[in-house]
Amino acid sequence: MHVIWAPWRMTYVKDARKLAGCIFCLKRTTRRDAARLVLHRGQHGFVIMNRYPYNSGHLLIAPYAHVKSLELLPADCALDLIRMTNLSIRVLQQTIKPEGFNVGFNLGQVSGAGIEAHLHLHLVPRWNGDTNFMSLLAETRVIPEHLQATYRKLRTAFRLALNEPSPAAGLRRMHAAGAGARQRTRPKRRRGSKSPARRSGKTPS
Ligand SMILES: [Zn+2]
């Protein structure tokens, strides 16, 4: 199937060409999670948006372990993939409200796996009519939403589903705590009394 790519896709194509190694072997640091479109990190794996989606909200769920097939995965890791898939389904239902899903693994290049060396599950939201006249007649499909806009919406929804505080809320709390601490530590002065600096005649450093 051909896809009509919106202009932002060229940025990703250029970035993808620069990448070396396996894109599913995530680094421990979370600093680039937003740039990499990582939505959630679980105990044994993570949820990431597909940069080349078949549909809006097309997610990939992968283990941290670099294994190429499901039967190579320890049972607790496999269970965690299912847990993260269920979580992702709930988040997508609450946000972009699909009418159905395609869920599955492509094992081996012959099955259509783009990156066959590192196991990943595809979760593709579906809507009635999404196999529209364009994909039927011209084998093309338009991706209607900007990936970054969808990322921000879904990232917030994952945080809410997991009761994780947002970085902005954390910063607000930190500032509020800092202001409170400053107020608490400021010495009380009676009206008309001089500050310690003024009494000693020194300027505070
Ligand atoms: Zn890998």
Residue 115: give its domain's CATH number. Answer: 3.30.428.10
Report the pLDDT value the prediction gives residue 18, as an integer from 0 to 100: 57
Range of the domain at 142: 9-167
Report the pLDDT value the prediction gives residue 202, as an integer from 0 to 100: 44
* 103 CA from centroid of ligand 1 (Å): 21
CA distances, 19 to each of 33, 50, 127, 198 (Å): 15, 15, 33, 61
Q: Which candidate, 89, 88, 70, 24, places its Cα nearest to that of 51?
A: 24
15 domain-assigned: yes
Choose the catalytic residue: 40, 44, 58, 120.
120
* 38 CA from centroid of ligand 1 (Å): 15
User: Catalytic: 118?
Assistant: no
* 46 CA from centroid of ligand 1 (Å): 12
What is the distance between the terminal CA atoms of the chain, rounded to a whole angstrom?
Answer: 68
186 domain-assigned: no
Report the pLDDT value the prediction gives residue 20, as an integer from 0 to 100: 65
1 domain-assigned: no
Report the pLDDT value the prediction gives residue 130, as an integer from 0 to 100: 78
* 25 CA from centroid of ligand 1 (Å): 4
Q: How far apart are CA 173 and CA 124, in angstroms?
A: 37
Report the pLDDT value the prediction gives residue 95, as an integer from 0 to 100: 96
Name beta bridge partners: 49.
59
Please count the structural domains in the chain: 1
Report the pLDDT value the prediction gives residue 137, as an integer from 0 to 100: 45
Report the pLDDT value the prediction gives residue 174, as an integer from 0 to 100: 57
- Contact present, 62 and 69 (Cβ < 8 Å): no
Report the pLDDT value the prediction gives residue 19, as an integer from 0 to 100: 60
Q: Map residue 166 onto helix, strand or coil.
A: coil
* 44 CA from centroid of ligand 1 (Å): 13
| C-alpha R_g of the chain | 25
Q: One digit per residue, pLDDT tens: the chain, 205 residues?
A: 555 444 444 555 455 545 668 989 998 888 999 989 999 999 999 999 998 888 889 999 999 999 999 999 999 999 999 999 999 999 999 999 999 999 999 888 787 777 889 999 999 999 888 775 545 444 445 565 678 889 999 999 999 999 877 666 655 665 666 655 555 545 555 555 554 444 444 433 3
188 domain-assigned: no
195 domain-assigned: no
102 domain-assigned: yes
* 39 CA from centroid of ligand 1 (Å): 18
187 domain-assigned: no
- Contact present, 145 and 56 (Cβ < 8 Å): yes
* 173 CA from centroid of ligand 1 (Å): 37
- Contact present, 87 and 123 (Cβ < 8 Å): no
